[in-house]
Amino acid sequence: MKLIFEKSKEGRTAFSLPKLDVPEVKIELENELLRKEEPNLPQVNELEVVRHYNELERKNHSVDSGFYPLGSCTMKYNPMLNEEMANLFNNIHPYLDEEQVQGALELMYNLQKYLGEITGMDAVTLQPAAGAHGELTGMLIVRKYIEDNGYTNKTKVILPDSAHGTNPASAKMAGFDVVEVKSGSDGRVDLEEFKKVMDDSVAAIMLTNPNTLGLFEKDILEIARLAHEHNALLYYDGANLNAIMGKVRPGDMGFDIVHLNLHKTFSTPHGMGGPGSGPVGVKEKLKDYLPKPIVDINEDGKYFFNYDIPKSCGRLRTFYGNFSVMVRAYTYILMMGKEGLKFASEMAVLNANYLRKKLEKEFDIAYDEICKHEFVIDGSFLKEYGVKTLDFAKRLLDYGIHPPTIYFPLIVHEAMMIEPTETESKEELDRFVEVMHKILEEAKTDPEILKGAPRNTPVRRLNETIANKQLKLRG
């Protein structure tokens, strides 16, 4: 398909502007600062733009178009209401007087409270723009905490080898050395291995719980005890919170800091990979290190931005965070209510376990036991038919199903991580199981079908090697 730039034709336009209605002045600028060559932007008319983006849109798989069991990414349905509510708040400038944005501030204040309640934390900032941004915020809070308490020898952050890549990257960006701890044969943090690396030089431990294998860290209370014994902080990567809303609270298990992905658990759309929103909650003792500002309320019942956080870790982004994503999450929380959030988690876990059971006979489940919201298939067994997880995944595309996350977590060979979420019906899950079995049958009888897949997609298998060798990064 042509690029919009290639559809361009001199003299066409999709734009109109009122005639300049003020008297013109001559532009008094050094000649070198005036644009000589106009940027080569497309010259197309409106219908061409409309057709172009309609065509592009048709080439995307999305939650709205079909099953999307992409583990760890929590592709649940994004309610239509969320969008309509977000649009009510489009026309607010960040530097209006607080008096003029009391509604927005109240929403933020309430959301801070709700997220604190759900996670069992005492204070929440909504500033981070995504999960990884929340992690960085959390790690900078850790930094301030150790500086403030004079723990000069604390230089390390421990995280499991099953951790999401953002965890080590965030810890590193905050200036820590990363220590990976091996998972045990049961897929959880191995307590003995953990004890070997746990000492006073550890500033924090980053965990997601349930972890990226969908398993609950059953030794969490002991890990928390050990961490605190060494004055280290326990950080919770809340990207996987969808399994436990209203059932388990990180704060009650000993976690000191948590980030949430509103674009996962709280049903805000992922927008092709952003915007997200990654609020961070902390326990009382860390409140003074939060980024500035947070939303507060004064005695007169007026909401305001509180910049008076003297030990703050600073500012992580301009303005106040991804406000319109917050509106979506807030809408969702109101719609679901306390019982709905809990039910959502229960059904997400039910769906995952149902799929796991339905697939376990024919597929090799990496850790075949009660899981939480997701589970991992070890695709190594496919080798005997001459195919790989990648081939299997590409064949799923032919059946209109988005494949699970593949090759992650790194500790499972040929991994396929399946997360159905609570918004899929039993019928849809059954159809998925049927397709999985069908493809397995194809692998056994005619593996070339898998290796040549996909065939029914807008393009066939794409050549990544060429893309990386002969870099072509713009039209």
Partner 1 sequence: MKRFPYIPHTEEDIKEMMNVIGIDDIKELYKDVPKLFEGELNISESKSEIEVKRELLELSNRNANLEDYAMFRGAGIYKHYVPSAVYQLATKRNFLTAYTPYQAEVSQGTLQALYEFQTAICELTGMEVANSSMYDGGTAVAEAILMASRVNKKHKSLVAKSIHPEYIEVSRTYTESQGLEIELINYDEKTGRIDLEDLKDKIDENTSSVVISYPNFFGVIENIKRIKEVLPEKVLLIVNAYPIALGLLEAPGKLGADIVVGEGQSLGNYMSFGGPTFGFFASKQKYIRQMPGRIIGETVDADGKRGFVMVLQTREQHIRRAKATSNICSNHALMAVIASVYLSIIGREGLKEIAYQNYQKAHYLAEKLIETEKFDPVFEGEFFNEFVIKPKFDLDKFNEKLLEEKFIGPLNLGRFFDDMKNYGLFCTTELNTKEEIDYLISKVGEIDEINL
**Closest CB to partner 1 among 37 and 300?**
37
Gap between the Cα atoms of 352 and 175, Å rounded: 37
Q: Which single residue is written with the structure tokens 């069908």?
A: 438
The number of residues in the chain equals 475
Cis peptide before 210 (omega within 30 of 0): yes
Kindly list the strands in the beta sheet with 375-378, ordered across the sheet, starting from the edge strand earlier in the chain. Answer: 375-378, 415-418, 405-406
Site pattern 148..187 for partner 1 (x: CB under 8 A): ----------------xxx-xxxxxxxx--x---------
268 binds ligand PLP (CB under 6 A): no
171 binds ligand PLP (CB under 6 A): no
Burial 115-140, CB ≥16 within 10 A → b, else e: bbbbbbbebbbbbbbbbbbbbbbbbb
Whether the Cβ atoms of residue 216 and residue 186 lie closer than 8 Å to each other: no
- The one among 72, 127, 209, 242 contacting ligand PLP by CB under 6 A: 72
Gap between the Cα atoms of 251 and 202, Å rounded: 20
Please list every residue from 407 through 436 that binds partner 1, using CB under 8 A. 408, 422-426
430 — phi, psi (to 5°)? -65, -40
49 — phi, psi (to 5°)? -65, -45
356 binds ligand PLP (CB under 6 A): no
- Count Cα neighbours of 305 within 13 Å in the Cβ-side half-sphere: 18
- The one among 69, 79, 187, 238 contacting partner 1 by CB under 8 A: 79
Q: Tell me the sheet residues that pair with 49.
A: none
- According to the 3-state scheme, what is the secondary structure of 339-372? HHHHHHHHHHHHHHHHHHHHHCCCCCECCCCCCC
Angle at CA of residue 169, ends 166 and 174, nearest 5°: 120
Size, binding site for partner 1 by CB under 8 A: 197
119 is in the binding site of which of ligand PLP, partner 1, none (Cβ under 5 to 8 A by kind)?
A: none
Gap between the Cα atoms of 33 and 115, Å rounded: 49
Site pattern 193..232 for ligand PLP (x: CB under 6 A): ---------------x---x--------------------
Which range touches partner 1 (CB under 8 A), out of 15-23, 191-199, 282-290, 438-446? 15-23
421 binds ligand PLP (CB under 6 A): no
76 binds ligand PLP (CB under 6 A): no
- Give least dist CB 303 to ligand PLP, A: 27
Cis peptide before 94 (omega within 30 of 0): no
322 binds ligand PLP (CB under 6 A): no
Which range touches partner 1 (CB under 8 A), out of 196-204, 226-234, 243-251, 377-385? 243-251
- The one among 126, 132, 146, 258 contacting ligand PLP by CB under 6 A: 132
Supply 233's token pair. 């902080």
**Closest CB to ligand PLP among 82 and 265?**
265
34 binds partner 1 (CB under 8 A): yes
- Give least dist CB 82 to ligand PLP, A: 17
Please list every residue from 360 through 399 that binds ligand PLP, using CB under 6 A. none
The footprint of ligand PLP (CB under 6 A) covers 72, 130-132, 164, 166, 208, 212, 237, 239-240, 261, 276, 278
